[in-house]
A and B are shown apart, each in its own frame.
Chain A
């Protein structure tokens, strides 16, 4: 079973616009991570946010975490066509090391 649920399932925007993707999860976590995947192969790690952090930035990426709502958001600012990919959130449960992924948001950035 999957712990995280991303929404929207798919998102289509114009180049230059911001893209926001949300993730909700079910159980307490130690960390939440966002990954990117092109063409169904090889996930690339984007950013990790710990349960005691509320916001984190990396370049054009901004991640927020609200543990009271069990949710996170990934914001990509000034999107580019090269940002077209699937984005997944993944959580480490407090009970162990297993990292569980959501079903992903498919982002399409039109040039």
Chain B
């Protein structure tokens, strides 16, 4: 597609439920990033993929968070046993890969845990 696509754009879920957020990067981009952004804050790094592998997952807050990119394109961020503190905008971004490439962001998935 023309840009990074994220679905759903909004998700309301109950505390304790499981959530999946999907990211469709720009075609041909090998690098894919997930960020989380709370109100009034900058994007917080979660995980970075180069191809199919997670090159850096140091930003995942705990083991309830997991992300996959099985074919090196679409990625899914999975959150188990959601908590109210997980409420945020989850941003996905992609780039052609390598140092110094511009990162292109999707519009984000707004997650609200009630």
Contacts and interface: CB of A to CB of B under 8 A. Distances in A.
B37 to A, nearest CB: 7
A29 B97 CA distance: 17
Interface residues of A, number: 26
B102 A45 contact: yes
Given A30-B100, A92-B100, A102 B50 contact: no
Interface string A67-98: 00000000000000000000010101000111
Nearest to A95: B56
Given A2-B42, A97-B31, A43 B105 contact: yes
A30 B35 contact: no
Contacts of B33: 99
B89 A40 contact: yes
B56 A96 contact: yes
B52 to A, nearest CB: 15
A103 B39 CA distance: 10
Contacts of B62: none
B20 to A, nearest CB: 20
Interface residues of B, number: 31
B55 A101 contact: no
B104 interface: yes
A59 interface: no
B100 A48 contact: yes
Contacts of B37: 40
A89 to B, nearest CB: 9
Given A92-B100, A96-B55, A97-B50, A41 B89 contact: yes
A103 B58 CA distance: 19
Given A41-B108, A98-B58, 16 more contacts: A30-B100, A40-B39, A42-B105, A42-B106, A42-B107, A43-B91, A45-B102, A50-B100, A97-B48, A97-B50, A97-B97, A97-B98, A98-B48, A99-B103, A103-B42, A104-B41
